[in-house]
Amino acid sequence: MDAATLTVKTNAAAALLKAMGNERRLSILLYLSQGEKSVGELEQLVGLSQSALSQHLAVLRQEGLVCTRRQAQTIFYRLDGETVSAVLTLVRRHFPA
């Protein structure tokens, strides 16, 4: 792997880990690893206000870790991509609940 490719991959990995490095965002991702959840469900599970939760979800969306689906006025979130799922599998394996 050349230096330019390594730099690109390192930057992508660092951005992923930075987004996941926040305790609340990691908690959100772990809940979403169990399946799609509405914003209301996530509020109750994570224990954040809607505005605080929205800020965390925006970061996760920006980094491409979650995606959304709208049904009427309800927004549902789910994990987006194999990379985030693989990292969460490692987290659960090394830090079981």
Q: What CATH number did the domain enclosing 77 receive?
A: 1.10.10.10
pTM of the predicted model as reported, rounded to 2 decimal places: 0.91
pLDDT of amino acid 78? 98
- Residue 8 pLDDT class (50, 70, 90 cuts): very high
Residue 65's closest CA among 1, 96, 22? Answer: 22
**Within 13 Å, how many C-alpha atoms sit on residue 3's CB side?**
0
- Per the structure, the complete domain to which residue 90 belongs is given by 3-94
The structural domain count of the chain equals 1
pLDDT tens by residue, 37-58:
999 999 999 999 999 999 999 9
